[in-house]
Structure 1
Amino acid sequence: MKKASILMMIGSVLVLGLFQFPMWNIMLGAPQYPEPLGMNIHIDGIRGMSEFDIQNIDGLNHYIGMKTLPKPEEMWEFTVFPIVVGAMAGLGILIGLLGYLGKLSYGWFLGWLVLMSILGALGMYDFNLWMTDYGTDLDPNAIMKLQNPDGTPMNYKPPLIGHKKLLNFDAYSYPRLGGYLLFLGMALTGVAFLVGKKAKN
């Protein structure tokens, strides 16, 4: 059980990597940009990969009527996410410590993993809703009004994950180091549950 508890604590500590590293990245590449434009999505805000990336992305988006990228104070998520992540990491460490001391069973490890999975799924759902609004709620007075072949307004929503062609831009959306640390931490807590279960059998 002690080995399982140590894995539980390590997994929970890895989640704290979200405070240091971005969890997601969206990259925009086009022939007129030798260096792609990119934005890293952290739990407390959006930052450009290079100094002027956010400014340049907002400038391009202005022509097609997209909103400017939100500042941390403009989205409640950037206030709530750090609290949730910190609380879940702290709870996971506490559960692991109590398991190490023999105060809790390995079943608590699975409970933490299930709760973290639900919160993560809700976070991804919310992120996708934001991108849908960002890419479809366009200013009707925009300089450029582009339409699909069927006459409907063009959708500029970036992909949740993977690649999508947006006009002459190639948009790529993938996890970054913070996201991978989160996934690894959750996987370790799953292993901790299995190790703890095996130790009791």
Structure 2
Amino acid sequence: MKKAGIIMIIGSLLLLGLFKFPLWNIVLGAPQYPDPLGMNIYITGIQGVEEFDIQNIDGLNHYIGMRPIPKPSEMWEFQVFPLVIGSMVALGVIIGLLGFFGKVNHWWFLGWLVLMSVLGVLGMYDFNLWLTDYGTNLDPHAIMKMTHPDGTPMTYKPPLIGYQKMLNFDVDSWPHVGGYLMFVGMLLTFVAFFIGKKEWKKKKRGITTS
């Protein structure tokens, strides 16, 4: 399964892009901001798209009672996620090498993909929980207290993915380069599974006929 093993290794190594590029991006645009404010979310922390974006977002959030954007030391995820990704890269490369030398079959490739998918879903679920808490757990003593027409307090949870209108802001939340690299890497491991399946069948057929 040499070809499948190589594809598996390449797919796994693409996840290393998460240590360099943002996983996610949230952009806030409004008439008073000709240049939108943005946050790039890495597996190691949150940074502004431009130098003062985080400072400006925190300033806006202060008026409506939202907490400041957390620093890496204030969220356990930014310590755990790099370890998880690094471990999955190492595991994927090991499985790819073993497949290359015919020591494991194609089901190991699928097993890695399933595990990575589960971890990805859990990560997105955790991210959504953070967005919900960040946008709804507001300071009751905030300067501005916005309410819906029925009198209930407004919340400001950014969308997990897609577009949403919040007050006079247009909020967009989409994967960034790191997220797309992870998707491509996982797709390659899926391809490696099918190629490995064919190669494994050929190998078994050769053993049977001999």
1:10 is paired with a residue of what secondary structure? helix
More displaced 10-residue stretch of structure 1: 147-156 or 124-133: 147-156
The alignment-based identity, stated in percent, is 71
Aligned residue in 1 for 2:125:
125
CA distance in 2, matches of 1:70, 1:28: 18
Deviations 1:52-105 (A, max 9, x none): 000000000000000000000000000000000000011000100011011111
Q: Please state how far the C-alpha of 1:200 moved relative to its aligned partner.
A: 2.4
Partner deviation per Cα, 1:105-163 (whole Å, 9 max, x = no partner): 11100000000000000000000000000000000000000001111110100000000
- The one-letter amino acid of 1:34's match is P
Q: Where does structure 1 differ by over 3 angstroms across 4 or more consecutive aligned residues?
A: none
Which position in structure 2 is the counterpart of 1:38? 38
2:105, 2:200 within 8 Å by CA — same for their partners in 1? no
Shift of 1:23: 0.4
Separation (CA, whole Å) in 1 of partners of 2:200 and 2:49: 48
SS in 2 for 1:160: coil
2:56 paired residue number: 56
| Separation in 2, partners of 1:147, 1:194 | 54
Q: Indicate the residue corresponding to 1:164 in structure 2.
A: 164
Q: Which secondary structure state, in structure 2, belongs to the residue aligned with residue 141 of structure 1?
A: coil
Task: After TM superposition, give the deviation of residue 39 of structure 1 in Å.
Answer: 0.3
Q: TM-score, normalised by structure 2?
A: 0.95
Provide the C-alpha distance between the structure 2 equivalents of 1:147 and 1:89, rounded to a whole number of angstroms: 47
Q: State TM-score, norm by structure 1.
A: 0.99
SS of structure 2 residue aligned to 1:67:
coil
Aligned position for 2:106: 106
Could you tell me how far apart the structure 2 residues matched to 1:15 and 1:44 are?
A: 14
Report Cα offsets for 1:32-56 as digits up to 9, x if no partner: 0010000000000000000000000
Matching residue's letter, 1:58:
D
Larger radius of gyration: 2
Structure 2: give runs of 5+ residues left out of the alignment. 202-210
Which residue identity does 1:116 align to in structure 2?
A: M
How many residues are matched?
Answer: 201
CA distance in 1, matches of 2:142, 2:35: 26
- Asked whether the 8 Å contact 2:28–2:172 carries over to 1, the reply is yes
Q: Structure 1 regions of 5+ residues with no counterpart?
A: none
The match for 2:143 is 143
